[in-house]
Each structure stands twice: as structure tokens, then as C-alpha cells.
Amino acid sequence: MALDRITLGHFRNHAASRLDGASHLNLLIGENGAGKTNVLEALSLLAPGRGLRRAPLNEMASSRGPGTFAVSATLDCEDGRDPVTLGTGTQADRPRRRIVQVNGAETSAVALGEWLAVTWLTPAMDGLFGDSAGARRRYLDRLALALDSAHARHASRYEGALRERNRLLAEDAEPDPLWLDSIEAQLAEAGAALAAGRAMLVERLSAELASLPEAPFARPALALAASGPRGAAELADDLLRHRRRDRTAQRTLTGPHRDDLEVTMAGTGMPAASCSTGEQKALLIAITLAHAGLAAADRPGVLLLDEVAAHLDPVRREALFERLSAGKAQAWLTGTERAPFAGLLGEAATWRVSGGQVERLS
């Protein structure tokens, strides 16, 4: 199964772009600012979440259009089943609300995860290992969401209950204990589900990474640094026991919202943040490829790689292309010129992107 017949209407700098004849491997070539990454962002919206830029909806709509946008694609099935049309965008009367459709019927964004698993790697992610714990949690949750669409509901429920508990803790008056009991029960239940999803992801990713060849990409070792207990009952007890401490701090100090993803270089144990820039990139690519393999095993997978070949040496570049060719996920790559992708040109569908317009080259 693969995406094809992709359309972008008034999305970023694309007034009306269409990509037909997509293949297992797909290459977008164009100058900086031409709109290549905008195509990848549009594809990333065919999954739950806020897309690869995490941008507000109103920023995605072209400033020269009606103030709304639309993205659609057809999911072709190789087993003879009818194609499935996936679409998302905004409407004039609801410009800040995302509309999602499957075969023309409106549904939730979470439902997209039942049809498609989307993974991406962008230059903005190169500093992930040296970034904040919050950035790594968002990354972790996005990867977990691609494997289990219910993860988004757990995260949303947890964040809502956490905001309410923190609001009560920050009030001048002593919070109603019964109301806190209720909020903490919701927080503990959602937190346990959220923590379980993250733990499952790290376990499956670690097993997948162990099965992949180490060279020429470094093999990362993953660990989930948990803040507080994992089980619902234990987390509820912990929240109750630390109410006074948290009220003094005016926020909840333990729980999955303070978890972190720890990444080290397997064999040496060196923290990823202490590795060289090239090693960090190689670790991130290894995680991305492993996750794409996991996601595509459960349902159709799409892998979006923005400017991924720009800073790779020839050996790693060719190894990447070989893994993409052998993998199950449909891959989309961008670059400013064809030369670095010489090993793919005979196999990949290629488009030229210029000024928000897309032209098929091969």
C-alpha cells in the first residue's frame, strides 16, 4: 500500500500542486525555499498530530488564498481492495479547526493513525539530544503515536488533568480534597496508559535496533528515564502523598510529564549529547529507520526525510538508500540537486519543485 495522487490546495506556497505516479521511493528536487519541505509537511498531516513543523493551522494556509487549505492523497491497496482517500484541511467558517476525512466522511485526526503510520526526520531535529527533556518527550510521544493511535488520547487526557491539578494547587484557597481526589484519579489513569505506551515503544525500538546492522550507522541504546511510579494506583498514591510539596511549588513535580528519553552510543555508553555532530545524526537516522520498520509492519508506512543526504558521507548515504529500498515504508526525500541521490535515480519517482509548483521529471 502506498500514497499516490497527492494534492495540495492553498497550502503554504502551493496554490494547486498534484503529485501523480508516486513510487516506493520518491525524490523532491529544488532550491531552498522552493516548497519541498511544504510537500513533506502536507504528507505529515495525513497522520494524527500537528505535523512535522508543529505549526498553527492558520500559518499553513497560503497568504494568497482564501485563508483555508486542503491536502488529500489516495492510499492504494495492493491486495485488490478499493483505494482509500485521506484528506485534511480547514474551512472558512472554522479556520482554526482541522477537518479530517476518510473516503469523504468526516472523522477525527486520531482515525488517520488507523490507516497510515508516518515517520519523519528534519534538519530541525538534529539538536534533539542536546535539547530539553520536553522536546525529547514530544519526540517519544510522536513515535509512540505512529505505533498506537490511542496514544494521542492518553496524552490529551493526561495533559488536561495535569492542567486542572496545577490550577487547583496554585489557588490561594485550599483545594477541595474530594475534587483533588477526582482529578488525581484521572491523572493517574491517563498517566499509567501514557507511560505504558512510551515503555512499549522503547522496548520495541530497542529490539528492532538490535536486529539491524550496526555499520555504517552507530547503534543507539535507548532507555526511558521515568519520573515517579508507572502504575495507576501507585501514581495516584504518589500524587496524594505529595500534595503539600506540589502546592508549595504550585505545580506537579512527578509524573510522566517529567519523563525523558536517554540515548547513548551502544558499546561505549557515551551519551548522545556528547557525541560529535556526525555521530548524533547517524544515531538519529538509525532510530528513524528502526521506527519506520516497526510502523510499516503494522500498517502502511510513510517515511519523510528532509535534506537527509546533505551531511552524510558517501558510504552512509549509499547505506541509507539501500535500507530505504529494502524497507516496507514508502519514502519521500528532498534535496537541492540530484547528484547526492545518484544511487536512487533509477528507482525513485522524481519531481522538480520550484516556486510552489511541482513538475514530474521521471
pLDDT for position 333: 98
Mean of the per-residue pLDDT values for the chain? Answer: 94
pTM: 0.93
CA–CA distance, 17 with 6 (Å, rounded to integer): 8
Which H/E stretch holds residue 305?
A: strand 301-305
Considering only residues 298 and 122, tell me which one the structure prediction assigns the higher pLDDT.
Answer: 122
Provide the pLDDT confidence category of residue 68 given band limits of 50, 70 and 90.
Answer: very high
pLDDT for position 81: 78
pLDDT for position 145: 92
Q: 78 pLDDT exceeds 80?
A: no
Which H/E stretch holds residue 100?
A: strand 94-102
Instruction: Give first-to-last CA distance, the chain, whole Å.
Output: 21
Q: 216 pLDDT exceeds 90?
A: no
Percentage of residues in the chain having pLDDT higher than 70:
99
Q: What is the mean pLDDT of residues 137-160?
A: 94
**Grid coordinates of 326:** 529494502
CA–CA distance, 146 with 36 (Å, rounded to integer): 23
CA–CA distance, 18 with 5 (Å, rounded to integer): 7
Domains (ranges, CATH) in the chain? 1-116+301-362 (3.40.50.300)
Q: 234 pLDDT exceeds 80?
A: yes
Which of 53-57, 169-173, 200-204, 211-215 has the least mean pLDDT? Answer: 211-215
Q: 79 pLDDT exceeds 80?
A: no
Residue identified by cell 505529595 is 242
pLDDT for position 24: 95
pLDDT for position 218: 80
pLDDT for position 100: 97
CA–CA distance, 175 with 14 (Å, rounded to integer): 51
pLDDT for position 312: 86
pLDDT in tens, 191-205: 999 999 999 999 999
pLDDT for position 47: 92
DSSP 274: G
Provide the pLDDT confidence category of residue 1 given band limits of 50, 70 and 90.
Answer: low
Which H/E stretch holds residue 86?
A: strand 84-91
pLDDT for position 263: 97
C-alpha angle 20-24-29 in degrees, rounded to nearest 5: 65
Provide the pLDDT confidence category of residue 215 given band limits of 50, 70 and 90.
Answer: confident
Q: 113 pLDDT exceeds 70?
A: yes
Considering only residues 74 and 309, tell me which one the structure prediction assigns the higher pLDDT.
Answer: 74
pLDDT for position 211: 84
pLDDT in tens, 286-320: 999 999 999 988 888 999 999 998 878 888 899 99
